[in-house]
Amino acid sequence: LAGVLSLAGALPAGTPQLLDVGHTLPPGGDALSHGRGLDCWEVRKRNSSEWCHFIRSNPDCRLDGGFLNYLDGVFCVFPPRLLPLAVTLYALWLLYLFIILGVTAEKFFCPNLSAISTNLKLSHNVAVFSLTSPLHGVTFLAFGNGAPDVFSAVVAFSDPRTAGLAIGAIFGAGVFVTTVVAGGIALVKPFTAASRPFLRDVIFYMVAVFLTFVVLYLGRIRLGEALGYLGLYVFYVLTVVLCTWIHRRQRGDGLAPPGPWEPEMPTDEEEEEPSGTNSGDYGEEYRPLLPSQETSLRILTTALSPLDYRKWRRKPWYWRLFKAFKVPVELVLLLTVPVVDPDKDDLNWKRPLNCLHILTSPLLCVLTLKSGAYGLYQIQGIFPVWGLVTLVASALALIIFITTSNEEPPKYHCVSCSSPFQVFAFLGFLASAMWINAAATELVNILRTLGIIFQLSNTVLGLTLLAWGNSIGDTFSDLTMARQGYPRMAFSACFGGIIFNILVGVGLGCLLQMTGSQPLVKLEPDSPLVWVLAGALGLSLVFSFVTVPAQCFQLGRAYGVCLITYYLVFLCVALLTEFRVI
């Protein structure tokens, strides 16, 4: 959260920020290029011998934030004849950034969020993923899956030159999830949709899309409108909670009978199984017969191993290949992000590793905040901030190591203890958020670079690459739930997640760009593609709003085929509009 809030100071006070959510205009054609020199898109129109000088001398080609200068790399480091090689490497790095975002959100961000919600005494049905909860995915699952989308939108809105990425990604992901993912669920497992939750979610989402359409039409968003986005999401969550409470009161807190194609949902008591600290995934045969005390070194090496060799042997080759790509990311995350897991008997307390986290997590935060600008700052021109953080964190880590044991977690780690200060859960939440923010910054910068190379607008990159990449997690998790026999839950998660993305993404993204002197952000869609996006998303919602009740909420394969066909037609129209065929 600190990484996101720090973006608020990235823009100077003065005139309202003009966010170009369409094509970048030709030189001298708008207020954005005034004072910036030539537009960076002009580089490909020049001789290849002038590329490097143009990139380094033009202020519009500077990438704000991030650790790597992708434009300098592709136009200065690589010779022109090796441009295809540079693009290939950038494409592979782009895919790896999506892997980083997915792994961080799934294995580090969500467990710590679950631990925090448990500590804050939030209702289990409101805060976490529960099979018996009618909220299924509109709060915790939406927050977990939506973290990469929201961080990407906030980073994109922080620079007027990349705001089109945010609009394209939010609208593009909305069209993709409500058509391809929802249609895929109906194809995998025909089911009867829950009528009231479906109508509630679709109505709220249509209101959010209409609000965004109005904002784009007016060409600006004020402070009240940005707060209105966030307020509408709070009202949506409160509506879900109230509807759930009324529904449970009406049915006497019991489970409603399953509808057609819907399996019996087990209760929480039936779902609970004892989980061991090290062998919970492999059954009783791997549990030790007698308890044994492990040394700190062995605990550290075991905790830092991202591979389980028994599981590795049972998996197919493609799973092993994907796991091999994820191992470096998981190892770095294990070193820097503590995880408090309420589902484990020991709550994932690893004394030597957690003490190491006291040092590595604060260092990660100061070295990724503003791309390391704060961490490298010299106090009185003598001592760097990261050095001071290292000294203080090392002292705290030593104190914790001396005052704790390997067997029993301390009160500030134990979720079920009475202590309100869950240090490691909040530290892990902050560190994982900083990782997501850093990866999202690199993602936005590399997409802008690819847009300059291929002369593509930010909007089309947002609705394709960024939307597809950020929707991978939603697609796999929702289709997996449908195959396991919970299509209603997966269908609800489709709409709950994208409502979070559009309301929090646009609201928070624009709110952080407003200054005290000018609480206004201008949005000027200069490409018809933005209107194609908004119209396609609204039309898909109206289609579902009309056809689903007309089918008595029984969704089969015909409905899935129609949605997927609609998305393919939309994609063709969008690309033809981008290339000015239409």
Question: Does residue 531 sit within a domain?
Answer: yes
Tell me if residue 17 falls in helix, strand or coil: strand
pLDDT at position 130 over 80: no
Band the pLDDT of 42: cuts 50, 70, 90.
Answer: confident
The amino acid sitting at 241 is V
| 289 is a domain residue | no
**Stronger pLDDT, 500 or 162, i.e. the higher one:** 500
Res 19: pLDDT: 52
Note the pLDDT of residue 33. Answer: 38
Distances from the Cα of 317 to the Cαs of 122, 307, 312, in angstroms?
41, 15, 9
AA identity, residue 461: L
- Is the pLDDT confidence value at 310 over 90? no
Q: How high is the mean pLDDT of the chain?
A: 78
Q: What is the pTM of this model?
A: 0.72
Residues 6+ apart with CB under 8 A from 176: 467, 468, 471, 567
Overall average pLDDT of the 555-573 stretch: 93
Q: Tell me how many domains the chain contains.
A: 1
Q: Is position 62 within any domain?
A: no
Q: Cα–chain-centroid distance for residue 263? A: 31
Q: Which residues contact 368 (CB under 8 A, 6 or more apart)?
A: 3, 375, 434, 435, 437, 438
Question: Which residue's entry shows tokens 């119209």?
Answer: 535
Residue-level pLDDT at 170: 87
Band the pLDDT of 141: cuts 50, 70, 90: low
- Residue 88 corresponds to which tokens in the numbers above? 């290939």
Q: What is the 3-state secondary structure (H, E, C) of 360-402?
A: HHHHHHHHHHHHHCCCCCEECCCEEHHHHHHHHHHHHHHHHHH
pLDDT value of position 410? 84
Closest by CA to 282, choosing from 253, 314, 257, is 314
Q: Residue 383 has what pLDDT?
A: 87
The residue type found at 1 is L
| Residue 507 in this model has a pLDDT that exceeds 80 | yes
Which range, 36-40, 62-66, 98-102, 329-333, is most confident?
329-333
Q: Let me know if residue 362 belongs to a domain.
A: no
Please indicate, yes or no, if residue 262 is contained in any of the structural domains.
Answer: no
Structural domain includes residue 181? yes
- pLDDT on residue 406: 87
Asked if residues 234 and 504 have their Cβ atoms less than 8 Å apart, the reply is no
What is the CB neighbour count within 10 angstroms for residue 364? 24
Residue type, 403: T
Cα–Cα distance for residue pair 357/338, rounded to 1 Å: 6
Question: For residue 240, is pLDDT > 60?
Answer: yes
Q: Please count the residues of the chain.
A: 582
Q: What domain range includes position 455?
A: 89-248+422-579
Alpha-carbon gap, residue 405 to 420, rounded angstroms: 21
Supply the DSSP symbol for 258: P
CATH number at residue 548: 1.20.1420.30
Tell me how far apart the alpha carbons of residues 495 and 262 are, in angstroms, rounded to a whole number.
Answer: 19
Mean pLDDT, residues 18-42 taken together: 50
Least reliable range by pLDDT among 51-60, 226-235, 504-513: 504-513
Report pLDDT for 309: 82
Q: What is the per-residue pLDDT for 314? A: 87
Highest mean pLDDT among 168-177, 244-253, 545-554: 545-554
The more confident residue out of 80 and 421 is 80
In a domain, 415, yes or no: no
For the chain, first and last CA: distance in Å?
42
Give the number of other CB atoms < 10 A from CB of residue 543. 16
Q: What is the pLDDT of residue 259?
A: 43
pLDDT recorded at residue 140: 56
Whether residue 37 lies inside any domain: the answer is: no
pLDDT digits (tens, 9 = 90+) for 186-195: 998 898 888 8
pLDDT value at residue 26 = 39
